[in-house]
């Protein structure tokens, strides 16, 4: 299903209004998010979809936007969760914990927790509790959400003790003491730091497996997690509208999960080895996406546009930094930081004018970088961005309103 759709695909989308012009012309252009939103939901409506919405087999949801507008979608209930569970059940490093029936605890943005609480309250016909209890935060019989605060750097000791209590409760339901930890890498790293700071390791049972997803996880955060956990730590890549498309193994190599899906890699600028994803997927029967630009950028092991050779999912196309050497992605800045030092935790590049930048950063140990690491990092940043870059050590960098960190700030150095 590379490039233009096959006859089999065309047959399955023939009645969908958004594709009528492409069908008439015999050519499908790349589909951008504004085109999906224009005329929604009429541009997707068919008798089949109308019946599914009426019966509850399809539902309206919003994408989990980070720093950009959220997009309205139509999909089967639990579409993303089923994609997750399928991947977990088939993954060589995770299938054992899936088959063993262990509980899953999810440590991610408070927005995700609030969404689960709203869904559960709606089922009961009540208003969601401002501080939802454990039952209110249960997604299904296997999964519960932990986080109740926007910024994990501001978790109190009471917050951490409560989350550890809930983790132990999930762990104790399994005869072998297994549980699966699903997380944002940043959130888990914050938890690890606070557990260490307050001497709570005896209250934190080791997970049998870990998946980090939800947002980009920096190299140094992955290193930090590897130092503290002996179980498989797996990265997932996917989206609300597409489900999960790739997963890493425990060594960081990516493997595709492209059932009823194909991927094209297009250079973000002519000749660039930074590519954006164009996805064709029939997974969602109510909103099949054909040649859809997801907005995500990748680099490959050999610089070629081969979806089988993806080495790094490196951020969003809308957040690229233009430089004389070409566009710079979040993953490029992250790689630059990680090559200079393993101590930087959260970092944000803040631009000033066209020639200056400042890298605000925190460290895992709370101390500023030493002279040698600082010099190496400033030099690497200058080479990467073409700007004069200074370092700015901070005790705290606030998280965004979405519960995710922004790697680039313009006009704020």
Dist. CA 146–CA 183, nearest whole Å = 10
Task: Spell out the residues 6+ positions from residue 95 whose beta carbon is closer than 8 angstroms to its own.
Answer: 88, 89
Mean pLDDT for the stretch of residues 99-114:
96
Q: Which residue has the tokens 């925190």?
A: 362
Give the pTM: 0.95
Angle between helices 185-197 and 157-171 (to 10 degrees): 110
- Checking if the pLDDT of 67 tops 60, the result is no
**Higher per-residue pLDDT: 390 or 8:** 390
Contact 360, 347 (CB under 8 A): yes
Here the tokens at position 377 are 């990092």
- Checking if the pLDDT of 65 tops 70, the result is no
What is the percent of the chain where pLDDT is above 90?
Answer: 91
Q: What is the pLDDT of residue 342?
A: 98
């Amino acid at each position: 299903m590379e490039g233009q759709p096959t006859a089999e695909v065309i047959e399955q989308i023939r009645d969908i209004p958004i594709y009528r012009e492409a069908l008439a012309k015999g050519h499908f252009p790349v589909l951008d998010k504004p085109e999906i939103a224009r005329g929604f939901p009429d541009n997707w409506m068919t008798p089949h979809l109308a019946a599914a919405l009426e019966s509850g087999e399809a539902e309206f949801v919003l994408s989990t936007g980070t720093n950009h507008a959220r997009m309205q979608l139509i999909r089967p209930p639990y579409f993303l969760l089923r994609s997750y569970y399928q991947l977990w059940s088939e993954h060589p490093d995770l299938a054992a914990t899936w088959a063993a029936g262990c509980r899953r605890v999810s440590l991610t943005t408070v927005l995700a927790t609030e969404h689960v609480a709203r869904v559960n309250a709606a089922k009961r016909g009540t208003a969601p509790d401002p501080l939802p209890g454990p039952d209110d935060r249960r997604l299904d019989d296997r999964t519960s959400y932990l986080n109740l605060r926007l910024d994990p750097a501001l978790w109190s000791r009471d917050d951490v003790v409560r989350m550890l209590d809930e983790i132990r409760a999930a762990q104790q339901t399994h005869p072998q003491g297994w549980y699966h930890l699903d997380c944002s890498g940043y959130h888990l790293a914050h938890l690890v730091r606070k557990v260490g700071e307050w001497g709570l390791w005896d209250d934190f049972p080791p997970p049998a497996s870990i998946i980090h997803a939800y947002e980009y996880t920096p190299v140094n955060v992955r290193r930090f997690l590897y130092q503290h956990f002996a179980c498989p730590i797996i990265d997932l890549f996917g989206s609300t509208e597409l489900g999960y498309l790739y997963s890493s193994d425990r060594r960081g190599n990516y493997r595709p999960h492209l059932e009823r899906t194909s991927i094209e890699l297009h250079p973000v600028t002519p000749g660039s080895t930074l590519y954006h994803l164009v996805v064709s997927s029939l997974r969602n029967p109510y909103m099949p996406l054909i040649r859809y630009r997801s907005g995500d950028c990748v680099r490959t092991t050999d610089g070629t546009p081969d979806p089988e050779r993806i080495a790094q999912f490196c951020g969003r196309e809308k957040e690229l930094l233009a430089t004389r050497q070409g566009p710079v992605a979040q993953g490029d800045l992250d790689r630059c930081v990680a090559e200079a030092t393993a101590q930087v935790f959260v970092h944000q590049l803040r631009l000033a004018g066209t020639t200056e930048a400042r890298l605000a950063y925190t460290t895992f140990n709370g101390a500023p970088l030493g002279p040698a690491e600082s010099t190496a990092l400033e030099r690497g940043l200058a080479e990467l961005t073409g700007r004069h870059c200074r370092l700015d050590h901070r005790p705290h960098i606030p998280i965004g309103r979405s519960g995710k960190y922004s790697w680039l700030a313009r006009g704020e150095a």
